Amino acid sequence: MAISERERLSVALVDVAEGREAEFVALLGEFEVLLARQKYGRSETFRDEGRPRRFYALWYWTDAAAAAACHADPAVQALTRKLYRIARVIHVVNGARSGPPDGLLLVDERRGRAEADRRTGFDRRRRDVGRAEGERRAGRDRRLGPTRLRDRPGEVDLVAAARRAREHADAAFSHFKVGAALEAVDGTVIAGCNIENASFGLTVCAERVAMFKALSEGHRAFTRIAIVADTEAPTPPCGACRQILWEFGGNLEVLLANLTKPTGTHRLKDLLPLPFDARLL
């Protein structure tokens, strides 16, 4: 498994949804052909003998520039979006971006940054905080640390992240708080809330805050967004947010919810049926 001086290595753990293995293998084939054709590098995938639906994917990038070009390639992004519909991918090592001195970035820690208000991993409480002996959290109230997220593909609670983001909204004038949580194709969750301004016109919606944060942190491909408001009826994104989400996120899955329950799921193309984008320029 030796690599050249210029080559960079990335490693990911992939948990494929039940019954989707054939689609996964087909996507791997397309990706390998694309890597070779564009001279981005090469890849290898190994099945976990103890867990038939778990795979380990290795990418040997030609160099850091080739890796960056690959991540920006629309064809690669399209394949990645398909992959994240059928599998949960945890990037264990990313040698294609700057990081610690040895050049390898352990990216599992990003879960903790995306949900900073939740204690995970070694940061979990080590002492009794008053719960009765033998009592345990049940169901969705249990905290999901990185290990549980790896073992339960597709169960990131994006709506819960949006509800938490809503608590930080600055809605001094409308008193209408909104939270949004945007999921990137690598599994990172980026949260946003509405920020109002005395001039009103400079107010920014939660959806755009989340998208701009994601873009500023280097994310360029996304799978879905959750939007939460304290209303009985669904609260879809406004026209400006639909335009921004479409231009940078494409045909996202849009999850709508209030403080207690889901209120609707849509595709962005249905909320913005005739969009204006770069194809018209």
Query: Which residues are catalytically annotated?
Result: 207
Joined tokens for residue 186: 């690598």
The kind and range of the H/E element at 161 are helix 158-166
Q: DSSP states of 180-210 as a string?
A: EEEEETTS-EEEEE-B--TTSTT-B-HHHHH
Edge-to-edge strand ranges of the sheet holding 8-16? 41-47, 54-61, 8-16, 87-94
The number of CA neighbours under 13 Å toward the Cβ of 21 is: 9
As a residue count, the chain comes to: 281
What 195-203 contacts at long range (C-beta under 8 Å, 24+ apart), as own/partner pairs, is 195/169, 195/170, 196/170, 196/171, 196/172, 198/173, 200/173
Alpha carbon distances (Å) from 192 to 36, 216, 242, 256: 38, 13, 15, 15
